[in-house]
Amino acid sequence: MTHRRPSRPVAGSSAGKADAAEGVGAARRKRFPVQLDCLHPPLADSQPQSAVVPAAGAVAVPDGYGVDSGRVRGHMVQQLRQRHGITDERVLQAMRKVQRHQFVDTALATQAYTETSLPIGFGQTISKPQAVAKMIAALLEVIARPQECRVLEIGTGCGYQCAVLAEIFGQVVSIERIRGLHQLAQSNLAPLGKSNIRLVLGDGLLGDPQAAQTFDGIISAAGGRTPDAWLEQLRTGGRIVTPETGDDGQQYLAVIDRHHTGVKRSVREAVHFVPLRPGVI
Ligand code: SAH
Question: What is the DSSP code string of 211-223?
Answer: -SS-EEEEEESEE
3-state secondary structure 148-171: HCEEEEECCCCCHHHHHHHHHCCE
pTM metric for this prediction: 0.81
Band the pLDDT of 212: cuts 50, 70, 90. confident
- By C-alpha distance, which of 81, 66, 57, 64 is closest to 36? 66
Residues in the ligand 1 pocket, defined by CB under 6 Å: 120, 124-127, 154-155, 157-158, 160-161, 175-178, 181, 203-205, 221-222, 274, 276-278
CA 123 – ligand 1 centroid, Å: 11
Q: Residue 127 catalytic?
A: yes
Q: What is the pLDDT of residues 36-77, one digit of tens each?
A: 333 333 434 433 333 333 344 444 444 455 666 789 999 999
CA 235 – ligand 1 centroid, Å: 23
Are 233 and 153 a contacting pair, CB within 8 Å?
no
pLDDT (0 to 100) of residue 128: 96
Answer whether the bond into residue 129 is a cis peptide, omega within 30°.
no
CA 146 – ligand 1 centroid, Å: 23
Any idea which of 7-11, 98-102, 179-183 has the lowest mean pLDDT? 7-11
Q: What is the pLDDT of residues 10-45, one digit of tens each?
A: 333 333 333 333 323 333 444 444 333 333 334 344
Q: What sections of 45-88 are H helices per DSSP? A: 70-82
**Cα–Cα distance between 245 and 225 in angstroms, integer?**
6
Residues 6+ apart with CB under 8 A from 107: none
**Cα–Cα distance between 32 and 131 in angstroms, integer?**
26
- List phi, psi (to 5°) of 181: -75, -35
Which residue has its alpha carbon closest to ligand 1 atom 14? 155
From 69, 127, 187, 220, the catalytic residue: 127
**Cα–Cα distance between 77 and 1 in angstroms, integer?**
27
